[in-house]
Amino acid sequence: MEIEEREPVSAGPGRAVPPGHRPEEPVGEQSPESSGPRRSPLTRRSLIAAVAGCAVLGGVLVLLPSPDRGGAPRPAPGPVARAASAVGAGVPAALPDLDALVQDREARVRARPRDDVSWAVLGVAYTERARRTAAAAYYPKAEKALRTSLTLRPGDNVAALEGLASLAGARGDFRAAKQWGEAAVKLAPKRWTAYAGLVDAYTGLGDYKAVGRALDKLLALPSGPAAQAVAARVYRDRGRREDAAAVVSDAAAGAATPSGQAAFLTLAGDLAWERGDRQESLDHYRAAVNTDADAYDALAGQGRALAALGRTSEALRAYRAALARRPVPRYALELGELYDKLGLGAAARVQYDLLRELVRRDAAAGVDDEPVLGLFEADHGDPQAAVKALRAEWERQPGIAVADALGWALHRAGNKEALGFAVRATDQEHGGGVRSALYAYHRGQIERDLGLSGPARRHLAEALRINPYFSPLLAPAAREGLTALGEPPAGGPPEESGTSEDPGGPADSEQPGRSQGSGPSRQPDAPAGAAGSDGASGAEGPAPVSAAPSPSAR
């Protein structure tokens, strides 16, 4: 977020008070007493030349080393200046620097409570502190600081509007992020930072045409590595993984701070993980942590990659370290599922209890964790409760992650609407081309339990093709499901002819299905779909044996 400089104090229409001017002196006019004798044109030209020469000499002297410093360079910026520069450029600041910035701005607003700029910077720093450490209590403090800034300067306070958009995005409230972001763009259409927040807001709301328009405007403006990271996320969601990887590589090379570089390396690790490259993703995550020890997302990424490589003890240590430093529900779910895979049910339940506690804590601070909680409840808790919560979430913000989670919860609860939402999450027409192993797996299992063997086979194979290691529980279940389905019949499967979904939306889907009931949670290593598929008769049948999903990642 860029903080704008204050305009000079006005001295009347078309005038500005120059620095050092005394209020009793008129600006831009000479009093009769001070006018002095009139000078000839030659004298005036000589004086102008002398003044110009002094200005040039002064500029040269500024560039020369200061004699009392012995030619030493100017001191590097301190932690407060570094953090302010980072948050202004939309990149992560080092946590010690961020703490220094928070303390500095807290002191400033205590001394000058009407300083709207300091209130805005403080609000942005609080938001970044909460996002980096999952200290959710900072979110209400950020909102109070930013609204105070907006109250003090309501007319043209772009900094506070951008800060409120960023805060809403960090909380997962994409409708509010859109509202604040669009207000900021209206006031300052040439500031790239406002468009960055809007891209994430439109993505969360499932408005992919608006995503494209906002990204085009963002990339047309002078920006920096942070804008490249935004573009990379959009390219990834459109299925353009090579473009995303290239842009992230450029962003990491152009990063001005270790914290910024670590953030881009983490994103590079995410891209490598999503395409199933375990070692490359681990290398990126390790490089991120080596660059910035506070890159907690990269620590969790190491746990994911190490588990896929079979290095379980190291994976558990990485997950525990990440969860201790940045306690978010997603880490607790992933660690719990890894314990489940290892047959350590008691340890898994500890993580699941922690997940619920973290969701309650976040909700009290205005953070929306419903997609992760819904996936958890669908397989480890109460699918009907998951459906109720996710339906409300879909009404608020119908993004792809919510469509996937709701479709899976509906499936686990035995509701025939499930396939329509799974189609919404996986088809290019609706999702803009996102390629997710988790989404493909969910759709394949739903189709399998509806007796749609051909599409089920195709989507389960697609999940493993995208990332053969996407989950310690689900990847084996996908392979077992494919084995149970067997080879397609010669001449093509007859059921494929009637499986096309109405692209109008999940609510219009009338695919046949079985009433499954919620049933108990699946044992970790039970084969997916072991109960079999007896077609689309609509008869009552046993709950499908299904693996517990890992949380969806954008």
The tokens of 166 are what? 């960023």
Q: Which tens digits make up the pLDDT trace of 263-272?
A: 999 999 999 9
Q: Which tens digits make up the pLDDT trace of 179-227?
A: 999 999 999 999 999 899 999 999 999 999 999 999 999 999 988 888 9
Residue 434's pLDDT is 82
Residue 462's pLDDT is 96
Which has more confidence, 530 or 485?
Answer: 485
Q: How many residues does the chain have?
A: 554
Residue 271's pLDDT is 96
* Cα 131 to Cα 112: distance, rounded to the nearest angstrom: 27
Report the predicted TM-score, pTM, of the whole model to 2 decimal places: 0.76
Question: Measured at the alpha carbon of residue 318, what is the angle toward residues 404 and 339, in degrees to the nearest 5?
Answer: 60
Contact 278, 309 (CB under 8 A): yes
Q: Which of 93, 161, 162, 163 is nearest to 132 (CA)?
A: 93
Contact 481, 527 (CB under 8 A): yes
Q: Map residue 201 onto helix, strand or coil.
A: helix
User: Is the CA virtual torsion 457, 460, 464, 469 positive or negative?
Assistant: negative
DSSP state of 135: -
Mean pLDDT along residues 427-445: 84
CA dist list (Å): 307 to 278, 301, 340, 522, 531: 9, 10, 13, 21, 28
Residue 135: count other Cβ atoms within 10 Å of its Cβ.
16
Residues 6+ apart with CB under 8 A from 72: 65, 66
The tokens of 133 are what? 């450490």
Contact 374, 389 (CB under 8 A): yes
Residue 68's pLDDT is 44
Q: What is the DSSP string of 455-522?
A: HHHHHHHHHHHH-TTS-TTHHHHHHHHHHHH-SPPTT--GGGGG-PPPTT-GGG-----------SPP
* Cα 369 to Cα 331: distance, rounded to the nearest angstrom: 12
Residue 463's pLDDT is 97
- Of the pLDDT bands very low, low, confident and very high (cuts 50, 70, 90), residue 275 is very high
Lowest-confidence range among 326-335, 373-382, 399-408, 503-512? Answer: 503-512
Which has more confidence, 18 or 252?
Answer: 252
- What backbone phi and psi angles, to 5 degrees, belong to 16? -135, 145
- Of the pLDDT bands very low, low, confident and very high (cuts 50, 70, 90), residue 73 is low
Q: Which tens digits make up the pLDDT trace of 112-128?
A: 999 999 999 999 999 99
Residue 427's pLDDT is 86
Q: What is the CA radius of gyration of the chain?
A: 29
- Of the pLDDT bands very low, low, confident and very high (cuts 50, 70, 90), residue 35 is very low
Name residue 16's beta-bridge partners.
Answer: 10
Mean pLDDT along residues 293-301: 97
* Cα 304 to Cα 310: distance, rounded to the nearest angstrom: 10
Mean pLDDT along residues 313-322: 98
Name residue 10's beta-bridge partners.
Answer: 16
Q: Which tens digits make up the pLDDT trace of 148-187?
A: 999 999 989 999 999 999 999 999 999 999 999 999 999 9
Q: Find tokens 């991120």 and name the residue.
A: 288
* Cα 498 to Cα 455: distance, rounded to the nearest angstrom: 10
CA dist list (Å): 500 to 433, 455, 504: 17, 10, 12
Contact 136, 365 (CB under 8 A): yes
Residue 524's pLDDT is 36
Q: Which of 450, 440, 348 is nearest to 400 (CA)?
A: 440
Spell out the alpha helix ranges (H) of 296-412: 296-308, 312-325, 329-341, 345-364, 370-380, 383-396, 400-412
